[in-house]
Structure 1
Amino acid sequence: MSDQLPMFPLSTVVFPGMSVPLHVFEDRYRMLVNHLLAVDDPAERVFGTVAIREGYEVGEHGAQSVYRVGCVLQLTEAGRRDDGTFDIVAVARERLMLEEMQRGVDFPQGVVAVLPEPEIEVPVEVLDRARATFTAFRVAMTELQGDPYSGTLPRDPDYLAWTLSALTPLPMAERQSLLEAEGATERLQLVTRLLTEELRAINVIPSLPATQVARTAWSPN
């Protein structure tokens, strides 16, 4: 079943469970935030995002080409500055498939369908290998620049898959492939392979950590 959602394309890939801070300054997205704040039920203050494949987030020619798989975001915090811009925080919920992007009267709209996650038991060996590979990557990064992570990894396979996908520093296309993977098993196998490649890159070029080579920078909007 398809629904219409306000859309806020970003120059980064967002994964379910991520907290996304944004500084909103462009008129159309300020109107989007005002629209959300007018919704009485905070749980219904939702909008969609997809990563921008080519183009920019701002201006008349922004977001010229976007990926089709993204996430539903829920607005959780919003602060208005004196100049009318906003600092907001949104939390990513389920994945979505963008069927059609529409310009909308005040802000972009999208026709989207929620993508359910398949309920499949993840093999123990897939879980163990993913955890071990991330631990090795974390050790390697700590030796290079100090531990960039904190906390412990979740035990739930779905949460683990999303957490490793979000934490692994990768180019846009590879992060998108993790978002599009069908289920936790496929996602964990893919992130394990990508982390292994990162470890090889760190060993080959120790003076240039993989986190700083050809990485997609965060851009607010």
Structure 2
Amino acid sequence: MKLPLFPLSTTLFPGCPLDLQLFEPRYLDMISRCLKQNIGFGVVTILEGEEVGAAPTRLGGFGCEAVVRDWQQQSNGLLGVRVEGVRRFRLLDTEVQDDQLTMGTVEWLDEPVERPLSDQHDDLAALLQALAEHPMVAALDLDGTARGQCELGYRLGYLLPFTPDQKNELLSLDDPGERLDRLHELLSSLQE
């Protein structure tokens, strides 16, 4: 399937909100089309290149479909848009259009059934609760509790300061338990 892409220096995960300020014509046009057609667009992580100007030279191999949840004109004159991650995809191929909008050929990834949290996830659940109290996270209206392993893994993967490659790896994992194990490993290496 073809999907318009919004390459960013951040990685979007399902169920997570993201605030964008739009000013480039390619993205204003893209959002307008998405709203008129009631469709989403893909957020992919920039591994090499910049968010503004020419299309990035290297993108992560995985992304997340985003749908517009709210928008408003900002005091600085830019269009502010809040999107939410919906579903993951594998990026198979990209093509940069004349207007520098990147189109991607994507394959949707199956979402696993949500599994309950267990005692071994208490530390990660407590970390999410602590993060939710930070003013920047609170501004996203992101709840500090998770209903299961998928949600906990997605929220921590989104909020924690990992590298773009590490975040893309977390997004790519199909098994929620494996994602939580990898989060433990990455947190241990951060603490060292």
**Normalised-by-shorter TM-score class:** 0.7 to 0.9
Partner of 2:15: 17
**Superposed counterparts of 1:73-88, under 5 Å:** 73-80=66-73, 85-88=78-81
Contact 2:11 2:164 in 1 (8 A): yes
Measure the CA separation in 2 of the matches of 1:136 and 1:37.
Answer: 35
Measure the CA separation in 2 of the matches of 1:78 and 1:34.
Answer: 11
- Which stretches of structure 1, 4 residues or longer, exceed 6 Å deviation after superposition? 136-139
Unaligned runs of 5+ in 1: 142-146, 202-221
Tell me which protein shows more strand as a share of its residues.
2
Work out the percentage of aligned pairs sharing the same amino acid. 27
**Superposed counterparts of 1:131-210, under 5 Å:** 131-133=122-124, 135=126, 148=134, 152-198=144-190, 200-201=191-192
**CA 1:137/1:79 → structure 2, altered by over 3 Å: closer, same or farther?**
closer
Q: Over aligned residue pairs, what C-alpha RMSD do you find?
A: 2.8
Unaligned runs of 5+ in 2: none
Partner of 2:82: 89
**CA 1:161/1:117 → structure 2, altered by over 3 Å: closer, same or farther?**
same
- What TM-score does the superposition give when structure 2 sets the normalisation length? 0.82
**CA 1:26/1:138 → structure 2, altered by over 3 Å: closer, same or farther?**
same
Deviation at 1:134, TM superposition (A): 5.4
- What TM-score does the superposition give when structure 1 sets the normalisation length? 0.72
Farther off after superposition, 79-88 or 45-54? 79-88
Measure the CA separation in 1 of the matches of 2:51 and 2:105.
Answer: 19
Partner of 1:210: none
Measure the CA separation in 2 of the matches of 1:38 and 1:89.
Answer: 16
SS of the residue corresponding to residue 8 of structure 2 reads: coil
Measure the CA separation in 2 of the matches of 1:154 and 1:138.
Answer: 9
Measured against aligned partners, the alpha-carbon deviations of 1:73-94 in whole angstroms (never above 9, x if no partner) come to 0012222469874211110011
Measure the CA separation in 2 of the matches of 1:172 and 1:36.
Answer: 26
Partner of 2:26: 28
101, 104, 120: which one aligns with 1:129 = 120
